[in-house]
Amino acid sequence: MEIQRFANIFRQFNLAHALAKDVEIGDYHFRRGQVLNIEFCAWFKDPEVFENPGVFDPNRFLDENGQFRKCDELIPFGIGRRVCLGESLARTELFLILANLANQYK
């Protein structure tokens, strides 16, 4: 999971969203209907979302018992209606590839 966050191997996929109403974000003003493209790279490196985002830390996704914990902030496959349909296949393939690499380099 940390590899997906840190390296963002799915960086070609971004989350485009047409605004339903006028929005103001900081000093920026966006009109209803404008399309915003949310960059996952920026999201995954935001210190308000992930503590110490520049540090590779696989433990950030483990609970106190060493088990994987769900992380709603990790969205490399998108969210909502636009979620990648191949997410489960991609996760399985990533697991197999990484497990095979780890097995080869004991």
**Annotated binding-site residue numbers for heme:** 84
DSSP state of 54: T
SS3 27: coil
Torsion of CA 43, 83, 13, 3, to 10 degrees: 60
> Which of 71, 102, 76 is CA-nearest to residue 5?
76
Burial 35-51 (b: 16+ CB within 10 A, else e): eeeeebeebbeeeeebe
Residue type at 12?
A: Q
**Would you list which residues are annotated within the binding site?**
84
